Amino acid sequence: MTFENTPEFAKLLDSQDPLYAYRDQFIFPKVNNKKVIYFTGNSLGLQPLRTKKYVDEVMNDWANLAVEGHFYAEKPWWDYHERLTNPLSRIVGAKPSEVTVMNTLTVNLHLLMVSFYKPTTKRYKIICEAKAFPSDQYMFQSQVQFHGYDASDAIVEIQRREGEHNIRLEDVLSKIKEVGDELALVLIGGVNYYTGQVFDMKAITEAGHDAGAYVGWDLAHAAGNIKLELHDWNVDFAAWCSYKYMNSGPGNASGCFIHEIHHKNKDLPRFTGWWGHNKERRFKMEQKFDPIPSAEGWQISNLPILSLAPYLASIEMFDEIGMDAIIEKRDKITSYLEFILKAINDEVHTDFEIITPVNLSERASQLSVLLHGEGRSLFDYLMKNGVITDWREPNVIRLAPVPLYCSYEDMYNFGQILKQGILTK
């Protein structure tokens, strides 16, 4: 399709967009009395209108029923989390028994590493991406140190080649081969938070298994953004937060996946609590732990219902629409944004460099733009004029035109504001 950098063309695309109506189901902050152009759904998704109702429901049940709410609320609390399981399994390509929600993302990855990082004197290394999200880096360091290894030896980072912004698949695969029988675990962000690069999870998972290692994925930027087939790819485990593309609210609960081949494996160590114990016998308060033979066997505490309510509201919206429709719009609107950036670049003779891969199979809902020759003042100009984006040192802005609530007209308007920002510097 040939795009045009005109308001008429942007409106035409909006009029043809089957997801356009969902825009009105979200609450936008306002700047200068106008809805903002929101590019940071990869950091904190907007609040869906329906969310408040789900939270109020729990507040009311708590007020009216108090402890009885565990069993007699309209959505009883003792199995409230199970309402998320089926729709969530469709979003990440899993069997319902392979997913659950609990804790928060880094906490879940730590807990999953208890099960899947079992270093021995020979096999103790972890492969991850260079410049992983800081929380993941700290997690790796503390995990290897906890097991008595030296981080500089046990953590193997896959580097970008000189002058390149993205990691090559061939370099991941050859590093896995090279580390070979010293490799205990591969754990990478499925979509890189900085560049937006999407990794070939199927190929990397297979290579890790061929080397005899476990393979897990941090799906913070992948869940609700890309097509996942965690079960079919034979991923051992994965976890994601729900507040980025999944719009469940600040700091909210994490989802996690554990492949069914591990559910009954009693040799896997894990940290346990009563919510992972045999459901029928949970309230018998027995001494011996009997794990639920599903991802729920990794649960520890009873669940934070006030956090799950917004997550449920969001997941039901995803389920209504389906990932395929989201992905179709994602690719179109991201390509339109790319077109707009190039058009403005040509008009005002700047030197933007999109560091996100060009190939649609290697990118999703984010374009990271290196603003050669532009400083933070451009970013400040954008924010002041209602374009919410984020700034990453040294001079990268990340733009996520989230398909559920961004419009094509937003992309056109963004281009105009960007142009003004460059010209009025």
In the complex, what is the shortest distance from the CB of residue 193 to ligand PLP, in angstroms, rounded to a whole number? 4
Residue with tokens 């807990």: 111
In the complex, what is the shortest distance from the CB of residue 40 to ligand PLP, in angstroms, rounded to a whole number? 12
Helices 7-15/323-348 angle, 10° precision = 180
Name the residue nearer to ligand PLP (CB basis): 14 or 218.
Answer: 218
In the complex, what is the shortest distance from the CB of residue 2 to ligand PLP, in angstroms, rounded to a whole number? 35
Handedness of CA 185, 189, 195, 201 (dihedral sign): positive
**Angle, alpha carbons 250-255-261 (nearest 5°):** 170
What's the CA gap between 297 and 262, in Å, rounded?
A: 11
What's the CA gap between 209 and 81, in Å, rounded?
A: 31
Neighbouring C-beta atoms of residue 5, cutoff 10 Å: 18
Name the residue nearer to ligand PLP (CB basis): 109 or 387.
Answer: 109
In sequence order, the β-bridge partners of residue 257 are 99, 238
Name the residue nearer to ligand PLP (CB basis): 138 or 146.
Answer: 138
In the complex, what is the shortest distance from the CB of residue 218 to ligand PLP, in angstroms, rounded to a whole number? 5
- CB within 8 A of 87, min separation 6: which ones? 315, 316, 318, 319
In the complex, what is the shortest distance from the CB of residue 249 to ligand PLP, in angstroms, rounded to a whole number? 12
**Angle, alpha carbons 264-236-359 (nearest 5°):** 155
Going through 83-220 in order, the beta strands assigned E by DSSP cover 99-102, 125-129, 155-158, 183-189, 214-218
What's the CA gap between 27 and 68, in Å, rounded?
A: 33
| b (16+ CB within 10 A) / e for 280-293 | eebeeeeeeeebbe
Name the residue nearer to ligand PLP (CB basis): 97 or 368.
Answer: 368
What's the CA gap between 58 and 61, in Å, rounded?
A: 5
Name the residue nearer to ligand PLP (CB basis): 156 or 241.
Answer: 241
In the complex, what is the shortest distance from the CB of residue 254 to ligand PLP, in angstroms, rounded to a whole number? 7
Name the residue nearer to ligand PLP (CB basis): 137 or 420.
Answer: 137
In the complex, what is the shortest distance from the CB of residue 130 to ligand PLP, in angstroms, rounded to a whole number? 13
In the complex, which residues of this chain contact ligand PLP (CB under 6 A)? 104-106, 133, 135-136, 189, 193, 218, 220-221, 241
In the complex, what is the shortest distance from the CB of residue 239 to ligand PLP, in angstroms, rounded to a whole number? 9
ω into 394 cis (within 30 of 0): yes
In the complex, what is the shortest distance from the CB of residue 7 to ligand PLP, in angstroms, rounded to a whole number? 34
What is the identity of the amino acid at 303? L
